[in-house]
Structure 1
Amino acid sequence: MGNASITTHQSLSVSLPDVASAITLPHGWSIASGAPALTLIGPERDLQIAFVAMADTRDKQAMVAAAWHLLDPSFDLPIAQQSEAPATHGWDACTQILYRPPSAESRVAFATVRTLGARVYVNLVTGTLAGFARREAQIEELRDAWRPDGLVATSLADRTAVGWGAAQSEALDAFIRDAMHTLQVPGLSIAIVQAGEVAYAEGFGVCSIDGKQAVATDTRFMIGSTTKSLTTLLMARLIEQDHFSWSTPLTKILPDFTLADAEMTQQLQMRHTVAACTGMPRRDIDLMFKFNDVTAEQRLSEMSKMTPTTGFDEVFQYSNYLVAAGGYAAARSFARDGSLDSSYALAMQQWVFDPLQMSNTTLHKTQGCTNCAAPHAIDFDGHSALIDPNMEKFADAVAPAGAIWSTALDMARYLRLELNGGFAPNGTVLLATDALQQRWRGGIKIDGNTSYGLGLICADEQGLEVIGHGGGTSGFSSDMYFLPAKQIGVVVLSNLRGAHVFLAALRQKIIEILFDAKPTSAQMIAAAMKAMQDATTSVRSRVTIDYDSLRWLNNLLGRYHCAELGNVEISQREAGYWAAFDGWGSSLGSEIQSGESRFVVLTSPPWIGLRLRVNADHSELHLDGGQTKYVFKKCQSAN
């Protein structure tokens, strides 16, 4: 964005356009001096966000183009996707435009356009993928801080929820069925708790699209990162029994644990492992690619080569590895023998599942389960498709972060504990109220309205305090949340990867039903459908899958190895080309970008569109993980 110089201060305040009061920038952020519009620069100088206010001409693309031209006259990236989102927090309208920089450049560019009255407020974000991955939360915080004078958000805080009855069930049933059909969600199970009791519980759809078994309220789903809330419940219970404290050094329990940064290793306390505040980057690609026969002990040993990329308590960064370390350490304080996995399983059973009578909840999927939902993802043609259940084993070695299987009714029992201040549904006191609710206290900011507690996300949604945690795996999506002041809790489990917009719309619909909120849930579903269609069209337009055009992949046939991600064998099949990773595989397409950059592209769900850049002599495949770059190197053939 031009060649403006940078003004840096330790603690800097800035006035945003059309806003009377100044805001304080996150630590290390700077103002670009001499820029034609207010531009803020991240601490590493590889990420920036601009603020451009203008009169509304009703031509959105022209206004955004004018904003880009103001900041960078040479900006000419093609639009990858444009989506209309329901207006929130008092705005009249909101649009997000994503651009497509050449993949080899490893950068990001997008615009957010919000309307208030006769004015339009445009944020322009550009930078490296690594910079955005590090500081996405601060970009969101700065974007949310732009609240022009006259912006008034609706608050539902003083409204009383209606009692759930037949009319509410009928309205929700109809919405769920229509939304599932529109967004191709195969199956869903839901429970709503109100005033200490299960007010609503239903199953919808099927366990698998290749069968007829209906989903019920006792159907097991993988709950993904919703597991984290149960892990911190375990930790809180063990703390109350003096096994350790939130301030206990992690290495006091796991003395062999180490990070690449020795100083940080010694600073890590148990609370840090579940607070997303340490600066440890997200390394989910490592989990997803290589998981067959990997143990928890091996996963933790991998962390000896990892180091934080931001400071303690500086910015939200989400690490499944670190949550796993904390959960395993907590379990080890109780069960000192056997593997880390067996210790965690025993501790969860004794301290969480059994006391809450969660009899249908297990760590890992049980063999021969006859009432388990199957994982699904959207395929290359934009349709729901079954995926290999083996791909869900990625979570086994980081179980405290996301490996639990549960049901809507079992999770409702957990919700009743949260809402009842530590009392189990049978009246037993499992945990002191303050010890339970310490997990609710927001810490590091995720955006301007949301923060992360201890394995729980704390949010202000339309003036309502909402606490919970969603989850996503290779083929499942979940949502769990509760409104303490309103004594309402909800859990939704689905068997489709990436269904979070659907789940957000369902959350909004429930708020509409309970609090007579402004109806935007239908608009959210329509926007999600368009985004899904656009994404499919975009991939199909860029990625070649016809056999004749793929013949250049013959140069890649053979085995490649990556130290972090394991092996991949590229082979030719009758119908095309195939990549066999350790424990899973995908059909292949190709993409050739400007500058003759060539990519092999995965075309099987769930990782459709994931690209590996091919180097000039075909000896390396490069995968851009944002803050981490991975290289598969071709193995020499044995003579």
Structure 2
Amino acid sequence: MRRSLVIPLVWLASSAIACGGGEPRPVQSAIAGPRHPAPEAMPATPSAPAGESVVTVDADSPMKTPSGATYTAPMGWTVTTRGGVVILEDTNREVSVTLLECKESEAGAAIAAAWKQVKPDFARKVKRMTAPPGRRGWDETVDVHYETTTEEARDVFASARRKRDTWYVALFDGTKEGWGRRWPGAKIAFFSFKADGVEEESFQGKTAHALDEGRLRELASFIEEGRKAANVPGIAVAILQGGKVVFERGFGVRELGKKAPVTPDTLFRLASTTKPLTSLMLAVLVDEGKFGWDTPVTQVFPAFAVGDAELTRRMTMQNLLCGCTGIPYDNLGTDFEHAGVTAEDALARLKDLAPTTGFEEAYQYSNALLAAAGYAAAHALYPSRPLGPAYYEAMRAKVFGPLGMKATTFDVAAVKRAEHASAHDRAPSYDMVATPFPATGWTGPLDPSWGVWSNVRDLSRYLAMEMDRGKTPEGKRVVSEVNLLKRREPQARSGDMTRYGLAFALETYRGVQVLGHPGGAWAYTSDLFFLPEHDVAAVMLSNVDSPNPFGGVFRRKLFELLFDGRDEAREDLVYAAKSQEEDFRREMSKVDLEPDRAWLERLAGSYEHPWFGKVSLRVEENRGVLDVGEWKSSVGRKTEEDGTVKLVLTSPPWIGWPEFVPKVVDGKTTLHMRAWQRSVVFEPVKRQ
């Protein structure tokens, strides 16, 4: 299921306020941007008013607040110091945050005092307040999300972190679209912020324990307990250490209400964990001389174009994988209309997708561009074939076959005949239910990004190849070490301790290098990662949607066992599961599941959009039904705090997204939907 995109506080952009005056000062840091050396802070702008300094940094730059706390100012952001207040704003002034140090007795009072100092007339209503466990060296954390109106399209947050007797309050404010493209810079600023005494747990320099019988027994017990606590029907896990599979097991069932268990052979949809497999195929073709990483895309696939002529000209095969081009996240309308939409059709829509940030200015994840990479590479190998069949054959011939991944496939019909995990999601009651197969058929046009099905047994072979730098467990070389490792080079900075490579997620977690890629799409969640310095790798697959509270805690528990980490995974799971349920129930409490028939009849009819296709709303036995053609859902009426009325979907896996705001102008009804950084308007179908 696709939830409404609510950005967590810790992902947002940052301004810092500290009590006391002074100008930000650069400090030494071991963390630099992916390609840009950290410069000295630029001098204050000459035109700044007296008592104010303005610094715009041209690279990620370590700085100090007036009180001595340290943080990193993201590349291109402006730091303004005004009477003790330090404000960080993005290039286009779309988002900002404020940090204030104060000695209030509790978080609520500290946040209120911060708003009063920065914006005395601030009077937004609290939407929700949560208290996640104190982590990363902080003693206590409290997060607040505020109500905003539908029309203003803003997200406003606050986060108070305590160290000893001081609260460090972050105030976040910006447009929804702005956060959509600026959250990586925000993560850099927010997570890098360190006050005096904040010492993060570190495993750097430690040697990983051997995963002996006792540790694996503890892990298995945690997985089963966690699966039940998170209400996950089925999970499969495999772990490698020293080049050998040391753990391979299924937990739970393939489908609720049925007895068939999950096993290491059970197929799951990998979602975005497909991406490193696609980039591996590109690496093999670079080895074969079909193209180079720096070959312009238009030389490989002449029909390629995005909504900017200069960017189209300069974009290389490598750039399609890097998340650094400025092209925003967008699924090109395939979430709705996908039956009959070919790979060629999907790529043709790229010409209407323009960049929303500068080239290499910010990290923006892109399913569409990565799909273009897979299709363009396959075209270089099989130029006479349609793009879809060419890609599937390229993956079979260059990746799945050589690696011995015998069960891995994009063929949904074959999956249905094989041992597979059924999709599950939440019903309006929050009960977990199985959803129709395949709930994620819409991924087809963008399959190189997220369409593959596999099991932990096959993925163990892939992980063994990654750890042995291009060789299968039998010693056969699949890809050169040079081009395998090229995929792991950082291309864009996605957070304080995270980077993105060539379809590869790169992280330094508590001082340990972690490589891989998570995945999540309607009704499936996956996580695949390895620790190259410690010769450990793992994969976890489950048949519920993201957000899945179990995903992150599995990785955390493994680190606890490997490095004698603090016992945090259990508490994190309890908090995540509780928070997720509260958020779901809060939103569903606004929904009338049986809306008035007269209201439904006023909206009934057919609507269309050039990309998203045609949708029809009709009334069946006093129940509203939205029919997209490829799928359909019952509908409800949601009333927001500001009085905005929305038409929302109430059948799994569609609960939470999309949401439509009906508008009537001059007697014409249109349906308005927000899709990431795009505002989509469905117009009524004209009668012939």
Same fold (TM over 0.5): yes
Give the equivalent residue in structure 1 for 2:541.
Answer: 493
Residue 15 (structure 1) shift? 4.6
Q: How far apart are 1:21 and its partner, in Å? A: 7.2
Contact 1:18–1:148 (8 Å) recurs in 2: no
Task: Write the letter of the residue equivalent to 2:683.
Answer: K
Q: Please state whether the residue corresponding to 1:619 is helix, strand or coil.
A: strand
Structure 2 residue 582 is the aligned partner of structure 1 residue 537: no
1:410 aligned to 2:462? no
Q: Structure 1 CA distance, aligned partners of 2:434 and 2:64?
A: 48
Partner residue of 1:135 out of 171, 174, 182: 182
Q: Give how far 1:82 is off.
A: 3.0
1:579 aligned partner: 626
The farther-off stretch of 577-586 and 124-133 is 577-586
In structure 2, the residue corresponding to 1:467 is in which secondary structure?
strand
Cα separation, partners in 2 of 1:385 and 1:77, compared to 1, 3 Å: farther
- In the alignment, which of 555, 558, 581 is matched to residue 507 of structure 1? 555
In the alignment, which residue of structure 2 is the partner of 1:168? 215
AA matched with 2:448:
P
Structure 1's 456 and 551: CA in aligned 2 closer, same or farther, altered over 3 A?
Answer: same
Q: Which amino acid aligns with 1:377?
A: D
Partner of 1:620: 670
Q: What is the CA distance between 1:277 and its match in structure 2?
A: 0.5
For residues 2-23 of structure 1, give each alpha carbon's deviation from its aligned partner in whole angstroms, at most 9, with x where no partner exists: 9x99946354968544763765
Deviation at 1:513, TM superposition (A): 1.3
SS of corresponding position for 2:533? helix
SS in 2 for 1:264: helix
Match of 1:598 in 2: 645
Are the aligned partners of 1:19 and 1:147 in contact in 2 as well (CA < 8 Å)? no
- CA contact under 8 A between 1:18 and 1:149: conserved in structure 2? no
**Compared with structure 1, are the counterparts of its residues 22 and 214 closer, same or farther at alpha carbon in structure 2 (3 Å cutoff)?**
closer
Higher mean displacement: 454-463 or 336-345: 336-345
2:126 aligned to which of 79, 85, 99: 79
Q: Please state if 1:295 is matched with 2:345.
A: no
Q: TM-score, length-normalised on structure 1?
A: 0.95
Q: Is the 8 A contact 1:35 1:71 kept in 2?
A: no
| 2:684 paired residue number | 634
The corresponding residue for 1:399 is 447
Equivalent residue, structure 1, for 2:312:
265
Moved more, 230-239 or 479-488: 230-239
Q: Is the deviation greater in 572-581 or in 519-528?
A: 572-581
> Which residue identity is paired with 1:620?
T
Q: Could you tell which deviates more after superposition, 29-38 or 373-382? A: 29-38
Alignment counterpart, residue 429 of structure 1, candidates 477, 485, 488: 477
Q: Distance in 2 between matches of 1:415 and 1:594?
A: 48
Give CA-to-partner distance per residue, 1:300-322, whole Å, 9 cap, x none. 00101111111111111011000
Equivalent of residue 103 in structure 1, options 130, 150, 175: 150
Which residue is 1:26 aligned to? Answer: 74
1:284 partner SS: coil
The question of 1:376 aligning with 2:388 is answered no
Comparing 228-237 with 593-602, greater Cα deviation is found at 593-602
The verdict on how the C-alpha distance between 1:203 and 1:332 changes in structure 2, with shifts beyond 3 A counting, is same
> What CA deviation, in whole Å up to 9, does each residue of 1:232-268 have, x standing for no partner?
1111111111111110001111101111211100111
Distance 1:395 1:88 in 2: 36
CA distance in 2, matches of 1:261, 1:601: 34
Contact 2:71–2:190 (CA<8 Å) still a contact in 1?
Answer: no
Other-structure match for 1:47? 95
Deviation for aligned residue 1:295: 0.7
Question: Cα deviations across residues 129-164 of structure 1 (Å, max 9, x unaligned)?
Answer: 111001110011110121113222221122222222
Distance 2:622 2:214 in 1: 52
Residue identity opposite 2:346 in structure 1: R
Are the counterparts in 1 of residues 76 and 91 from structure 2 also a CA contact under 8 Å?
A: yes
Greater share of helix: 1
Letter of the structure 1 residue corresponding to residue 227 of structure 2: M
Identical residues among aligned pairs (%)? 30
Task: Indicate how the Cα distance of structure 1 residues 493 and 45 shifts in structure 2: closer, same or farther if over 3 A, else same.
Answer: same
What SS is found at the alignment partner of 2:402?
A: coil
Q: Does the 8 Å contact 1:564/1:630 carry over to 2?
A: no
Q: Which moved more, 1:32-41 or 1:207-216?
A: 32-41
Would the aligned equivalents of 2:336 and 2:628 in 1 still touch at CA under 8 Å?
yes
Partner of 1:351: 398
| Counterpart residue type for residue 388 of structure 1 | P
2:523 paired residue number:
475
Residues in 1 aligned to 2:274 and 2:183: alpha-carbon distance in whole angstroms:
24
Cα distance change, pair 565–8 in 1 and its aligned pair in 2 (3 A)? farther
Give, in whole Å, the separation in 1 of the partners of 2:349 and 2:578. Answer: 40
8 A Cα contact 2:237 2:541, kept in partner: yes
**Structure 2 residue matching 1:613: 3-state secondary structure:** strand
Once the two structures are superposed, what CA deviation does each residue of 1:590-624 show, in whole Å capped at 9, x if it has no partner? 12345543211222222323321111346111112
Do the aligned partners of 1:274 and 1:455 also contact (CA within 8 Å) in 2? yes
2:613 counterpart (561, 566, 576): 566
1:17–1:52 contact (8 Å) kept in structure 2: no
User: Equivalent residue of 1:104, what SS?
Assistant: coil
Residue 25 of structure 2: aligned partner: none
Letter in 2 for 1:619: T
Question: SS of 2:653's equivalent?
Answer: coil
1:443 aligns with 2:491: yes
Whole-angstrom CA distance in 2 between matches of 1:174 and 1:432 = 39
Range 476-485 or range 627-636, more displaced:
627-636
* Paired residue secondary structure (1:31): strand
Structure 2 residue 297 is matched with structure 1 residue 250 = yes
- Residues 267/72 of structure 1: CA separation in 2 closer, same or farther (3 Å cut): same
Deviation sequence 1:351-405 (CA, Å, 0-9, x none): 1111110001012423442301111112211121222224312221111111110
Question: 5+ residue gaps in structure 2?
Answer: 1-14, 18-48
Secondary structure of 1:466's match? strand
**Cα deviation per residue 1:17-54 (whole Å; 9 max; x = unaligned)?**
47637656333322346477322222111211111111
Q: 1:380 to 1:21 in 2, by over 3 A?
A: closer
Stretches of structure 1 lacking an aligned partner (at least 5 in a row): none
What amino acid does structure 2 have at the position aligned with 1:576?
Answer: R
What SS is found at the alignment partner of 1:349?
Answer: helix
Distance in 2 (CA, whole Å) between partners of 1:565 and 1:6 is 47
- Conserved 8 A contact 1:16-1:51: no
Equivalent-residue separation in structure 2 for 1:422 and 1:572 (angstroms): 57
1:454 paired with 2:519, answer: no
Q: Secondary structure at the match of 2:260?
A: coil
Structure 2 vs 1, CA of residues 167 and 344 (structure 1 numbering), >3 Å: closer, same or farther? same
What is the match of residue 513 of structure 2? Answer: 465
CA contact under 8 A between 2:392 and 2:410: conserved in structure 1? yes
CA distance in 1, matches of 2:312, 2:509: 36
Which of the residues 215, 224, 228 maps onto 2:275? Answer: 228
Report the count of equivalent residues.
635
Cα deviations by residue, 1:337-363 (Å, 9 ceiling, x for unpaired): 221111111111111111110001012
SS in 2 for 1:109: strand
TM-score by length of 2: 0.88
For 2:674 and 2:341, the matched residues in 1 are separated by 23
- Computed over aligned residues only, the root mean square deviation of the Cα atoms, in angstroms, reads 2.2
Opposite residue 587 of structure 2, the aligned amino acid is: V
8 Å Cα contact 2:332/2:368 also seen in 1? no
Query: 1 CA distance for matches of 2:643 and 2:548?
Result: 35
